[in-house]
Chain A
Amino acid sequence: MAVNTELVVAGVIVGVALLLAWRTRRGAAGARPTLRPLPAYDELTTLAARALEAGRVVVVSVGRAALGRQATPTSVSALTVLRRAALDGCATGTPPAVTVGEATLLPAAQDELRWAFQAVGRAAHFSLAQVEFVAAGQDGLAYAAGVSQTLPREAAASCVVVGRYGPELVLITEAAARAQAELIVGVDEPAALAVAAAASSQPLLAEEMLAAGAYLDGRPSQIASLQTQDVLRWLVALGLMGLALFQLAQG
């Protein structure tokens, strides 16, 4: 019997959506799981206060993954991190300097910053130019070079680098080290993971970065996402083991 791939995919999506909805309802009803500690997120919530003490700013780079394409979830997570950094920064009067490496991220990042100013009652202080478009998405080296120049120019106290990057990430991490800026790195590309692991003491690797919403906002739907991922991970692991055993048995 022929298998209709589209129907199978649709079935999987509906199944995952129902699981997510069920978990969200349970979370909204009060079931709160304990999340494993990720020190980078704790550190992120203190950056603005330390920047204020030092009289410097936080630089946030949200990467170069286009919204509306495959890496959209990566950029959505990066924007979640930006939202938190912007909210803390605007509340303490030290709004972050924001750089984007993809055109579709520009209005989204500007909206996050505008919202943060509005949330703390300082909407008049917002300017569109507070978010800087550095280079177009496919030009990773130009973007990294641009961000590495932003760090000394803005006298960065901290540098938050989240989103999609390649090995050119090392240009930014080295600039942060030279500027003696604290570094928080969250990436999902295998080529950038090694750089992140070497450059940052508390990197957010792969799915840890995608969990930004659950750690920073902590709404039931975001925590339900993590629980759903755990279930899916078990299913994938069992599926892989089953396939391996099946192939072994087939010789």
Chain B
Amino acid sequence: MPSRTWGCLLLNSIYDNSEMSWRRRVPLIVAWLAGAASLVGLLFAPALAQLLLGWVSFLAAVTLLLGLLNLLAVHSRRALRGNFYSLVLLAGAVIVLALAVTDSLGLTAGGVATVFQVIQAPLEAALAALLAFLLVFAAMRLWRRRRDLNTYLFLGVVLFLLVASLPLPAAWQAWLEPGRALIQKVTVTAGVRGLLIGVALGAVTISLRLLAGVERPYDSQDSWQT
């Protein structure tokens, strides 16, 4: 028999299945109370919201530690099987961790920052530069795979924008500029805003279900046993 307390009345009005075991109900009530407290805090009590966000940040930091342990465990296993890249990754992790410790002890100065500037930043810049070429390859692959109106429109717009971005003579640029402005400032902006409004509405309903405890992980055990 479902409880008729005020909290459970609300929960039962939202839940698909009003017959809940206590094993499910307790984390649900905690989730619901935490969600309600977050909402009330964000709207009316900033200090409460700040406290809750502090807890979230702490948990996020703990998960980062778990992530590091997972990374080391997975790549240690691969390194033992002879994977050279995993070995490099492990060596990199150990070196950066050691530098972080020596930086904090004052034995070295800016060691971690130097590693990032000298190794990671140039590598990421190189990868980022590759993206443009890969995008052109993806467009070509699309043309080979599917030749319909959408594909021609997509490729036509891509080609037009690429050409319009070239350092062309001023007369040509003046001729192409209105088209480019129309595409970028009107069509693309309108499309992106439409998509973002759709995403925002979807996010609102999912968030409400999360706050009410209707979403995973609270619905996991009982209703999903196969």
Which residues of A come within 8 Å of B, CB atoms?
6, 9-10, 13, 16-17, 20-21, 24-25, 27-28, 66, 68, 72-74, 76-77, 79-80, 83, 87, 91, 100, 103-104, 106-108, 111-112, 115, 119-120, 128-129, 131-134, 136, 139, 141-142, 145, 149, 167-168, 170-171, 173-174, 177, 188, 190, 193-195, 197-199, 201, 205-207, 210-211, 213, 219-222, 225-226, 228-229, 232-233, 236
List residues of chain A with CB within 8 A of the CB of B120: 142
A residues less than 8 Å from B14 (CB atoms) = 20-21, 24, 221
Q: Are B15 and A221 in contact (CB under 8 A)?
A: yes
Q: Bound state CA distance, A66 and B59, in angstroms?
A: 12
Q: Measured between C-beta atoms, what is the minimum distance from B106 to chain A in Å?
A: 26
Bound together, the chains give a CA A157 to CA B3 distance in angstroms of 48
Q: Is B95 an interface residue (CB 8 A)?
A: no
CA distance A9 to B141 in the complex (A): 46
A167 contacts B135, C-beta separation under 8 Å: yes
Decide: A198 near B67, CB < 8 A? Known: A16-B208, A24-B14, A210-B203: no
**Do residues B192 and A190 form an inter-chain contact, with CB atoms below 8 A?**
yes
Nearest CB on B from A6, distance (A): 5
B44 in contact with A233 (CB, 8 Å): no
- The answer on a CB contact under 8 Å between B216 and A76 is yes
A-B CB pair tally, cutoff 8 Å: 185
Tell me if B's interface is mostly helix, strand, loop or mixed: helix
Tell me if B174 counts as interface (CB < 8 A to partner A).
no
How does the 8 Å CB contact mask read for B141-159 relative to A, with 1 for contact and 0 for none? Answer: 1100110000000100000
A199:B141 contact, CB within 8 angstroms:
yes
Point out the residue from B15, B73, B209 that lies within 8 Å of A129, measured CB to CB: B73
* Contact residue among B63, B137, B207, B216 (Cβ-Cβ distance under 8 Å from A103): B63
B216 in contact with A205 (CB, 8 Å): no
Contact: B67 with A133, CB < 8 Å? yes
Q: Which of A103, A141, A213 contacts B66 (CB 8 A)?
A: A103
**Complex contact A171–B134 (CB within 8 A):** yes
Q: In the complex, A205→B198 CA distance in Å?
A: 10
How far in angstroms is the closest Cβ of chain B from A13? 7
Q: Does B21 contact A (CB under 8 A)?
A: no
**Assuming the A-B contacts A170-B135, A198-B135, are A106 and B67 also in contact, with contact meaning beta carbons closer than 8 angstroms in the complex?**
yes
Partner of A6, one of B44, B66, B224: B44
Closest to A205 in B: B195
- Interface pair A104/B204, CB less than 8 Å apart: no
Complex contact B63–A104 (CB within 8 A): yes
The reply to whether B214 and A221 form a contact with Cβ atoms under 8 Å apart is yes
Q: List 7 A-B contacts (CB under 8 A).
A: A9-B43, A10-B39, A16-B204, A107-B63, A115-B220, A120-B226, A207-B199
Residues of A within 8 A of B207 (CB): 72-73
Across the interface, do A207 and B198 meet the contact criterion of CB distance under 8 Å? Answer: yes
Report the minimal beta-carbon distance from B30 to chain A, rounded to whole angstroms.
16
Say whether, besides A9-B43, A66-B60, A190-B192, A198 and B209 are in contact (CB < 8 Å): no
